[in-house]
Structure 1
Amino acid sequence: MKRKFGVDKSTLTSLSFVVAGFVIASLFSRSALIATAFALFIAVFIFIAQKRGGSKRRSAIHGACPEMIDILISGVQSGLSLNESLSGLAQRGPEIFKVEFQRFTENLYTHGDFNRALIEVKESMAHPSFDQIVEALLIARELGGAELLTILRLLGKFIREDLSLRREIEVKQNWIKNSAHLSAAAPWILLLLLSTQPSTSQAFSTPTGLLILGAGLGITAIAYFWMNSLSRIPDPNRIFIDVPQWST
């Protein structure tokens, strides 16, 4: 990610949203306290959204694994070696894998250790389904490639079934989660509308009003974290992540 003056782009974007929220709330309420609370609410929302970015990357890797397996099967069936099939993913593989397999090809040419180069890709991707593919390839290469196609087909079928089940669960959960998010945001939207009245701004400028704003912000933050935690589908454990797999 590009950086400017030592600050990455996502941080600048987040800060701009928080500042914009503060300015808009100030224009509506004419109260610095209400505007600050509203800006903090936006900051909490952005923080949670950014944490979900890692989850989106994991979902993208999971979704691309079946396509990767199909390309490997096609390459092996056409007479390519496993090395050539994997290197070919840098050009015609899923977009999320291209950079890593370009690095795999470069590492393979540099030190010539297939296992080491593949494990380096595995550690970079850090996903259970990708782990399964890598371990299947390493086992098939160690024992001989006679069963490679059978192993890849079975693994591809398993990953597709798991992916289909997860997507079905996510679709059913999304409308519930979106409704819960809207319910959590509704009091703040109502506060912003009511704060156009001077009496509301004055009420929340008192110590009691400040306490209510702080408690409301804390409860909203806890509710958001709780909702996202409950709705997250747990990933299976990664396999063979602490065992060195390359030769010395």
Structure 2
Amino acid sequence: MLLSLSLVFLFSRSLVIAAAFSLFVGIFVVLAQRKSESKRSSEIQSACPEIIDHLISGLQSGLSLNESLVGLSLRGPVATRPYFEDFREDVYRTGDFMGSLERVKSHLGEPSTDQVIEALLISKTLGGAELINILRLLSNFIREDLTLRREILVKQNWIKNSAHLSAGAPWILLLLLSTQPATAASFSTTSGIAVLISGLIMTCVAYLWMNKLGQLPKPSRVFSGKL
């Protein structure tokens, strides 16, 4: 924010316009951080089919379920390795396999990973004669769901692109016009400041609304253990 304040002030010589731009940048930095959290969620969900493939491969090669899960800390998807490293250390420290699985499920915190781990918990409790078949069926279901969601997201990308363009275009125009002393002087008045504040609020509301329209609803965590 301070960097944007300094750069815009040097460009426009208007402290008011520079302050408005710094607020604009600050708000969108916060929104970008929220987007990074959404990216983390997407990476974990996308890794689920690969996790299942690793588990099936391990079980078919004669490894126990415990060994197959521990192996995910070394050979599993990069996005989920830290979680299974914690699982490995937790199992070795406590010896409580079921409790460690519940904890890694909580840490991953995604509907698709909940489904995988619940299948493992049930097989551990009731017997795992059909575990590989169940995992294959679950893998197909998750893959179909991910494919469908990706297709919808691709078609809705134009909404997000429109939001970015609509939010940034007026401020880029203002930045160009602010090189004129008359423009800078106009926005330094009380009415000019009011226009900037109103524009900032409306830009943020419109941007959030457009992104909301282009966002798919997140599936609920049926197996989260929370009512």
TM-score band (shorter)?
Answer: over 0.9
Does residue 121 of structure 2 align to residue 138 of structure 1?
Answer: yes
**2:155 matched residue in structure 1:** 172
Does residue 193 of structure 2 align to residue 221 of structure 1?
Answer: no
Alignment partner for residue 114 of structure 1, among 97, 115, 130? Answer: 97
Does residue 82 of structure 2 align to residue 99 of structure 1?
Answer: yes
Q: How does 1:31-180 map to 2 (within 5 A)?
A: 31-180=14-163
Matched residue type, 1:57: R
Q: Structure 1 unaligned segments of length 5 or more: list them.
A: 1-17, 244-248
Matched residue type, 1:53: S
Q: TM-score, normalised by structure 2?
A: 0.96
Matched residue type, 1:233: L
**1:10 matched residue in structure 2:** none
Moved >3 Å (runs of 4+): none
**1:232 matched residue in structure 2:** 215
Matched residue type, 1:121: V
**1:206 matched residue in structure 2:** 189
Number of paired residues? 226
Relative to structure 2, which stretch is displaced further, 90-99 or 66-75? 90-99
Cα offset for 1:20?
2.0
Q: Percent identity?
A: 58
In 1: Cα distance, 2:28 partner to 2:86 partner: 36
Tell me if the contact between 1:37 and 1:214 (Cα under 8 Å) persists in the aligned partners.
Answer: yes
In 1: Cα distance, 2:79 partner to 2:194 partner: 47
Q: Structure 2 unaligned segments of length 5 or more: list them.
A: none
Q: TM-score, normalised by structure 1?
A: 0.88
Cα offset for 1:197?
0.5
Cα offset for 1:240?
2.9
Tell me if the contact between 2:87 and 2:101 (Cα under 8 Å) persists in the aligned partners.
Answer: yes
SS in 1 for 2:129: helix
Root mean square deviation, CA, Å: 1.1
Deviation digits for residues 41-99 of structure 1 (CA, Å, limit 9, x no counterpart): 11111111111111100100011000000000000111111011001101100112212
**2:12 matched residue in structure 1:** 29
Matched residue type, 1:83: N
Deviation digits for residues 4-57 of structure 1 (CA, Å, limit 9, x no counterpart): xxxxxxxxxxxxxx2221122112211100010011111111111111111100
In 2: Cα distance, 1:111 partner to 1:183 partner: 54
Tell me if the contact between 1:28 and 1:193 (Cα under 8 Å) persists in the aligned partners.
Answer: no
Cα offset for 1:180?
2.2
Relative to structure 2, which stretch is displaced further, 211-220 or 23-32? 23-32
Deviation digits for residues 129-157 of structure 1 (CA, Å, limit 9, x no counterpart): 00000001111121111110111001000
Matched residue type, 2:47: A
Matched residue type, 2:225: D
